[in-house]
Chain A
Amino acid sequence: QKEVEQDPGPLSVPEGAIVSLNCTYSNSAFQYFMWYRQYSRKGPELLMYTYSSGNKEDGRFTAQVDKSSKYISLFIRDSQPSDSATYLCAMTKNTGNQFYFGTGTSLTVIP
């Protein structure tokens, strides 16, 4: 079983929709959770970063962590065509240097 599972999609939504992207994980030692956005043929770009459980908001983006369910989410409000990209979740433990990535969800926002 992979340590981090992410639905690959693809996900297609109309402009202005609320998008929900999710990851599940199996290792309760994960403490730090990240979301990356990757445009086609580019490197991943760090979007959101949270520690432990709870919510974090940054503009149209909200990251949510539920450690009891081992489930993390990224919500995008008022989605724009420029949000069309692949979204990767990642997580790491309190110690050590390894990051564990989901395989990414491909999102298309249709004008």
Chain B
Amino acid sequence: NAGVTQTPKFQVLKTGQSMTLQCAQDMNHNSMYWYRQDPGMGLRLIYYSASEGTTDKGEVPNGYNVSRLNKREFSLRLESAAPSQTSVYFCASSEATSGRAGQFFGPGTRLTVL
């Protein structure tokens, strides 16, 4: 099993450009999450999807959109990138909709916005 995979691993954007971060999991998990990690701020939840067909905002959703394409895939889109979105982005998945089983993380995407 590959677990949680993310593409791309690295990306440099100019201000105003758009891009989509891809995430897929092969553990048949119901819930999927997008986080950003910044120094001194820890992991902050951007959006999550409790099950296929549903998405909800997390702590820092502004400037992002998500799509739960199917049970396996959950993408994060930046419509007009800003330097404040420079960060490391992690996708995660969890078996139980209430998160009781903990989360499994992907390797991350390092994004720089110039």
Interface residues of chain A, those whose CB is within 8 Å of chain B, are 8, 32, 34, 36, 41-46, 49, 51, 88, 90, 92-99, 101-104
Contact = CB atoms under 8 A, between A and B. Distances in A.
27 contacts: A32-B102, A34-B103, A42-B108, A43-B4, A43-B106, A43-B107, A44-B105, A45-B105, A46-B102, A49-B102, A51-B100, A90-B103, A92-B98, A92-B100, A93-B98, A96-B98, A96-B99, A97-B31, A97-B33, A97-B97, A97-B99, A98-B45, A98-B58, A98-B99, A99-B33, A99-B45, A103-B40
Contact of B99 (A8, A45, A88, A92): A92
Going nearest first, the 10 A-B pairs with the smallest beta carbon separation are A43-B105, A103-B42, A101-B43, A92-B99, A49-B102, A46-B102, A44-B105, A34-B102, A43-B107, A101-B42
Given A32-B102, A34-B102, A44-B105, 17 more contacts: A8-B40, A32-B99, A43-B4, A45-B105, A88-B42, A90-B102, A92-B100, A93-B98, A94-B98, A97-B31, A97-B33, A97-B56, A97-B94, A97-B97, A98-B48, A98-B58, A103-B42
Which of B31, B42, B94, B97 counts the most A-chain CB atoms under 10 A from its CB? Answer: B42
Interface of B: 4, 31, 33, 40-43, 45, 48, 50, 56, 58, 90, 94, 97-108
Nearest to B56: A97
B42 A46 contact: no
Contacts of A92: 98-100
A24 to B, nearest CB: 14
A42 B98 contact: no
A43 to B, nearest CB: 4
Nearest to A93: B98
B61 to A, nearest CB: 12
A46 to B, nearest CB: 5
Contacts of B104: 46
